[in-house]
Amino acid sequence: MQHQVTIFHNPRCSKSRTTLKIVEELGIKPIIIEYLKNPPSCEEIKEIINKMGVSPRDIMRTNEPVYLEKNLNNQNLSNEELIHAINESPILLERPIVLTIERAVIGRPPESILKIL
C-alpha cells in the first residue's frame, strides 16, 4: 500500500535533494512543495508541528538572518507568533520536511525519513 507523502522541498539544498531521492527510490511519488515559492499556511505549519509532536521553535532555522532581525529568539513569543513568522518568512522553515498522513519528520540527516515511510 502506498502512502500519501508530501515533501517541503528546497531544490537548492543538498539535504533536501538527497531526501527527495530517497523517497523516490522507495517507489513513492511525493507531492513536492517548494515552500520558498509556495509558503505553507499557518494551518499547514500547525499540522507539521502536531504530526512531529514538537514546538514551532523545533522546526525553525535559527541561523537565518531574519530570525535575529525579527527578534524570534525572544522566549516570550507565543507559538502563534512563531507560526506566523514562519508563514511570513518561509526561509525560517527547517528543510526538508516529509509528511505522511499521520506523521512528519525533518530530513536531517536524510535517512531519518525512513522511520516514517
Active site residues: 13
CB 112 within 8 A of CB 19: no
5 vs 60: CA distance, rounded Å: 21
Element housing 99 (H / E): strand 97-99
Torsions phi, psi of 59, nearest 5? -115, 15
Element housing 105 (H / E): strand 104-106
